Structure formats: C-alpha cells, structure tokens
Structure 1
Amino acid sequence: MRDRRGMALWAVFGAIAVVSSVLVLRRPDWDRLSDLHIYYGAVRHLHAGHPLYDYVAENSGPFTYPPFAALVLSPVALLPEGVVQLGWLALTCAAVAAIAVAVGGALALARQRRPVAVAAIACALLVSAPAQSNLRFGQVSVFIVLLALVDAMGLTPARYRGVLVGVAAAVKLTPLLFVVFFLFSRRYRDAGRAVAAFAACAAVGAAVLPADSWTFWTGTFLNTSRVGNLASLGNQSVHGMLLRAGVDGASFPLLWAALVAVICGVALLRARQMALGGEPAHAAVLVGCATVAA
C-alpha cells in the first residue's frame, strides 16, 4: 500500500514538473528562462573572444557570477538554446527531487514510511516559490543548494566533505557561510577542504580567464547594482527588506550589517547545537536559510 502511495506521489511530482515546464516554455521569448538566457549569451560572448563582464543581455542583465561559473557553464554554448532550455528544466526538476531524497533520508522516519515522505517532500518543494522561480527564470541556485546541502549534511564520503561547498561557493559566493558553520561545528577539516576547493576553483578561473578574474575580484563582485532591482519583492534578503522599507543614506550599511550579524550569529549558534546533537540535516537547512536572509 505504501509503495503505491509513493508511486502515486511521484506521478504527481512528474505531472507538476511537466505542467510547470510547459508553462515556462509558453512564456514570451523575452520572458522565458531569462537568467539562463544570460548564462547562455555570456558564455557565447566569452567564446567569441570578448570580455565576460562586458556582456549585457537583451533584458539588460549582465553576468554576475565568478569566472569559474562561466567555465562550468561553458558546455551550454555548444547546443542550440532551445535544447539547453529543455535540458535545464529537466535538470532543475531532478535537482529538486534529489534535495527531497537527501532531506527525507535524514528524517527520523520508519523505513517503510520514508518513500512516501520523500515523494511528498518532493511535491511540496516543487510547488514552492523558490523552486518555481528557478524553473521560470532558469536559475543556477537549485544546484548550489543541492551541493551545499548534501555536503553540509555529511552525505558525502568523510575524506571529501567540504569539497562540494567549496565548489558551490566558487560558482556563487553565498555558500561560504557554510565554512563558518563547519568551524562552529568543530568540522575543521571540512572547513579546510571547503576553503581549498574554493581557492582551487578560483585559481582555475584565474588561469583560464586571467583578465576576467582580475575584473571580477577587484570590484565587480562588490557591485550589487549588476544583480538588478534589489528592492523588488523577489529579493527576500535583509538588504531587499530595508530598501522596500525606505531605509537609505549613511545609516543603511550599519543597520544592514547589524541585522546580518544577528541573523547569522543566531543561526550559526543554533545550527552548531543541532549538528553536535546529531541533527546535521536540520543544521544545514538552517544555515542555508541564513545565507538567503543575509
């Protein structure tokens, strides 16, 4: 009976994935997988011999990630954009399912109940706003979440733990908070491997794209205006909240820094308690939420 319920829920997951993907593909060209379009255009721009951070898409979006991210994304330029869009949607849904498997496996559930719970989690995740946003815009965030979550939960072999966090941070900087989490949780070797992996990926980016690496690390990564309208409702960070509340001027950086310090401090201390208490999955999710908020 439970097997049937699990299979039925996975069928629901598949139906949600198909319907969501069709709705995305039916959007106008200018509003379809807009972030993916930026990745695609930036990589082709780079392959044509142009500076990576000079690229601006038709929707006025520039490439905002480190040079290593462009190297990781380079294969997409070898395929027609329509094929890339289909593949990206499929991989996004697969990543959501993988996150559900990781989280469901970490829950203290009876073995016979776990398949149903995992399928239910997958369905809930796929209809959530973050997952639907990743599908609509073709964002890389869901893959970053998967890498950091699996690593922080300790699902990778012990000798490699921390590496995936470092690689994820080399593509998008936000997972670096997990390095602090490793230190708080006395996972010193994991923190060292994360830093080493991050540095190694950055070094690869610098070796292959020296000029673009210099441009990024000497200023582009601090230019938050490149990300877009930070006051939009899509930005659920403290920064976006303060902008929407009308906070501006000289007090803004200090207030933002104070709130971020409180959020990250409380989250890291609580995550440390969870991790040392045998709840690594809960701790990893909490740190992930803190990175989004901060």
Structure 2
Amino acid sequence: MTDPMSSKITSNAAADSADSAEPARTASLAGAPMTRGKRFRRMVLEFTPAYLVSMVMLPLIIAGGKFWPYKPSTMDLQVYFYAVRAMLHGANIMEWSSPDFHLWFIYPPAAAIIMLPLAVGPFLFWELVWIAGIVIAQNVVMIRSGVPRGLPLALVSAALVIGMEPIRTTVGYAQINTFLMALVFIDLLPATPGRKRIIPPGMLIGLAAAIKLTPALFVLMLLILGKKRPAITAMITFAVLTIVGTVVQPSATISYLKSLAGGDTHTSGPLYVGNQSLLGVVLRLFGENQTNTYLGLAIAVLVAVLAAIVGAYWWKKGAHVLAIALVGLGTNLASPLSWTHHFVWILPLGIAVVYQIRRRPWPGARADHIPLPRWMTYSCAAVVLYVSACLPLALLPYASGAEKNYTALQELVANLGPLMITAILVASAVRMIRESRHPARPVEAAAPVAGS
C-alpha cells in the first residue's frame, strides 16, 4: 500500500464571510509576546512526546518490523527513497518498484522531483527525519485548528499517534498524508492573519496537488468562495511543477497518464475493504464490473463537488476548521483508492467536535469554530470514532476476495464510514438550500428613546 511525501473561537454563527471573522480572529491571537527562547522550548515540549512515542511504536505498527536491529516496515518511505535514486539514474520511476517490498511509485513525476533531498543521506537518517516531519505537520494542523499550545498540545499529539488509526498508520508507513494536510492548513489558516505572507496564498495548495492530485479540490472551494487570486496561484503552481516533472521525466509522465486513464494503480484493487473511497463502496455493494466502476466514479465526482460547495458554506459561516476537514474528507471519498490511513482529515474534524463539547474557546485560541447543530456534532463525532478505530480492518475478513462474500452486517461495517461522511455532506447541503430559501430576517434597529 503506497501513496507518497514530506518537504481562524467563536466569530459569529451568522457570519457571512471569512473576512467578517478576521477581526475576532486577529484579536484572539493577540497576547503577551514570547521570547525566542521560550518559543523554542515550547516547540520542543510539543514535539518530543509524540516523536518518542512514534519511534518506539514504529517497528510495531506495520507487520514485519523489528526492534533489533531497529528496522521498521516504513515501506512507503522506502518507495520514495529509492524512486528518487532511480530517477537520478535515468529510470522510468513508473516502471520501477521498491527493492524490499516491491511497491510502485504511484504519484506524478513532479512528486519525485519535490522529494529530491531524499537522494542525500542514508535511509535510517531519513526515517528519523521523516517521522519528525510527520509529528511537526500534525502539530501544525492542531495549532492552526486552535488546540492550546504547550503541554496540552504535546499530550494530544502523542495520544493521536497511539489512538487514531490514520495518524498512527501514516507514521507506520512513513506516508505523506499528514504533510499534505499541513500544507492545506498553512495555506488557508495563516499564522498571523492580515499580514503580508512570504508564500502567496494558494501556492501550498498547488504544491500539495502536484504531489497528489486530490488536494486540487480545495481550489474549487476557493473559487466558490470568490477567492480567485489564491485559486489562480494554486493552479499556476500545480501547472509549473507538473511541467517540470514532465520535462525531467517524460516517459514516466506518459506512463503515469496511461495508468491513470486505464485505472491501473499498481496497488490492491478497489474492492479491498481497506479502500474506503466511494468507488470501493459501490463495488462492494453492487459487484465488481465495468458499469459499476463507472457508476462509482461518477458518484465520487458528484460528492467531491458537493464537498467543495458544503466546505465553502461552512467557511462563510466561520467554521473554517470544519470546512477544511469536510473538503479533505471529500478528497478521500473522490479518490478511486483511499486506504484507511488516508483519512487523516478526521484530526481537524475531531477538533471541531471537541470545541462543540466545550462550547467556548480555549484560552488564546483561534477564531475558526462556531457552534454547530447537534446533529452535525454527533454525526461528525461518529465519523471520528469509526475511522479512528478502523473497524473494517479490525473486524472483517479481507483480501483474497473475502469482500465478495460479506453478509449484510459485514457490508454495513465495511461501508459505514464513507456513507456517514456522504450523509453529512448531503445534510449540510440541504441546510444550505433551506437557508437560501428562508434567509434569516435582519434584526431591526431599536427605536430611539424619547428625548435622546
């Protein structure tokens, strides 16, 4: 299983745009300045527990790893590591597989170019650095989502590695999912709102899309929000990196496009229960054939567009973290193959749920959450718990065609997660339509007091 890379609490429930939340958000970030030394010590505190837990657990997460000699089964990192070296030796990386696990590099050639630093240094060095990067990336997502800094963030980060399957398994495979999520969060939720940014808005989303196509769905959300400049920046970044990849690896680009068009992913088939995409759901429920494949892909495209529309709806209301999480989960549903560990977007979704339990901001937190309807809170919580527990792989038989013989109850367990996410998107769309047909009446100004 491989999928490659590294390298704004309450604003107002009736806020009409992201911009209306900016003053509250900026104010929430104001506070006593910290010295550089204190910031560094806080960062070390936030990083260390999760990193130590990750390195201790690493040989235990994926089968085949061992403590001594220390050799975890970080098979995805091995693919990236050796693919870069193969590319530098002139090989077509789309026709190459990793030496130990015989897994294919299944991402665009541009991704391999972005990973070029992997060509310098031994594999163990990059194992240590890569896992550190994953921990930093998940901490960035939590900080931008409003989790309190310092010890609370440190403890939550370590607990996530243990108890949230997509986070834990992304660490185990040394995958790229958390990196891509962090790129999106850094782009959409800047550390200091209102200030000129070194990296233009949209560029990091374009970078993420060049590594893995699915983050391009955030470009659609930006367009729906009327944020044309960031959307154009994202598209230009994506195009430039893709062109560079094509120039450097023309044969690999042709091979990649052929495999994309032909549905040959060089991985386990879409029927496999570990594939929690909508295509996988359709094939498991209705059978594996060409007609159902096209049906599943068509449904996936429609749900992806719906996710972008719903994400824009919640963003306008001020629920920025929720919006990003829903669009991210929409990318999981839309991709033909989305393994359970690709659903790292339940991390920000879970943070949005925890905010609803508190019903008040954390001290110094960002203004990126709003109170949600109870049905939304409960359904999102159910998704977080379901995905975190990875029930399909924990409870069901799989591989060797076992999915073809599932009982009705087994089918429910196998497909409940994607169906719940889809239901949340549909229910949000219904709410959006109802609000557009019955807009809230404006509050009338109070009559002036006599003599005033």
Question: Percent of aligned pairs with the same residue?
Answer: 26
Equivalent residue letter for 2:327: V
The residue that corresponds to 1:27 in the other structure is 65
Q: Tell me if structure 1 keeps the 8 A contact 2:45–2:151.
A: no
* 1:57 aligns with one of 67, 73, 98: 98
Separation of aligned partners in 1, 2:299 and 2:233: 29
RCO higher in structure (CA 8 A, sep ≥6): 2
The residue that corresponds to 2:79 in the other structure is 38
Report Cα offsets for 1:149-187 as digits up to 9, x if no partner. 222335585671111000111011110111111111111
* C-alpha deviation, 1:8, in angstroms: 8.8
Q: How does 1:267-278 map to 2 (within 5 A)?
A: 267-278=307-318
- More deviation, 10-19/138-147: 10-19
Report Cα offsets for 1:169-210 as digits up to 9, x if no partner. 101111011111111111111111110110011122123223
Equivalent residue letter for 2:87: L
Q: Tell me if structure 2 keeps the 8 A contact 1:264–1:290.
A: yes
Separation of aligned partners in 2, 1:11 and 1:124: 12
Equivalent residue letter for 1:244: R
The residue that corresponds to 1:234 in the other structure is 274
* 2:207 aligns with one of 147, 162, 167: 167
The residue that corresponds to 2:217 in the other structure is 177
Report Cα offsets for 1:254-273 as digits up to 9, x if no partner. 42134324422432232111
Q: Tell me if structure 2 keeps the 8 A contact 1:40–1:76.
A: yes
Report Cα offsets for 1:76-130 as digits up to 9, x if no partner. 122111222122122112211221111126xxxxxxx665654454345333111
Equivalent residue letter for 1:169: A
- More deviation, 145-154/48-57: 145-154
Taking structure 1 as the reference length, the TM-score comes to 0.83
Q: Tell me if structure 1 keeps the 8 A contact 2:61–2:169.
A: no
Equivalent residue letter for 2:50: F
* 1:16 aligns with one of 53, 60, 66: 53
Q: Tell me if structure 1 keeps the 8 A contact 2:45–2:150.
A: no
Per the alignment, in what secondary structure is the counterpart of residue 226 of structure 1? coil
Equivalent residue letter for 2:161: L
The residue that corresponds to 2:235 in the other structure is 195
* 2:188 aligns with one of 126, 135, 152: 152
Report Cα offsets for 1:208-236 as digits up to 9, x if no partner. 2233233323x133334313333333321
- More deviation, 237-246/85-94: 237-246
Separation of aligned partners in 2, 1:254 and 1:207: 32
The residue that corresponds to 2:157 in the other structure is 122
* C-alpha deviation, 1:9, in angstroms: 8.1
* C-alpha deviation, 1:141, in angstroms: 1.6
Report Cα offsets for 1:240-259 as digits up to 9, x if no partner. 22333352223313421343
Separation of aligned partners in 2, 1:248 and 1:194: 36
Query: Unmatched 5+ residue regions in structure 2?
Result: 1-42, 335-452
- Moved >4 Å (runs of 4+): 6-12, 28-31, 113-117, 154-159
Separation of aligned partners in 1, 2:179 and 2:119: 19
The residue that corresponds to 1:248 in the other structure is 288
Separation of aligned partners in 2, 1:255 and 1:230: 13
Kindly report the root-mean-square deviation, in angstroms, between the aligned alpha carbons of the 2 structures: 2.9
Equivalent residue letter for 2:310: R
Q: Is 1:141 equivalent to 2:177 in the alignment?
A: yes
Separation of aligned partners in 1, 2:301 and 2:259: 24
Q: Tell me if structure 1 keeps the 8 A contact 2:205–2:234.
A: yes
Equivalent residue letter for 1:66: P
Q: 1:283 to 1:121 in 2, by over 3 A?
A: farther
Per the alignment, in what secondary structure is the counterpart of residue 285 of structure 1? helix
Q: How does 1:90-129 map to 2 (within 5 A)?
A: 90-104=132-146, 118-119=153-154, 121-127=156-162, 128-129=164-165
Equivalent residue letter for 2:105: F
Taking structure 2 as the reference length, the TM-score comes to 0.56
Q: 1:91 to 1:151 in 2, by over 3 A?
A: same
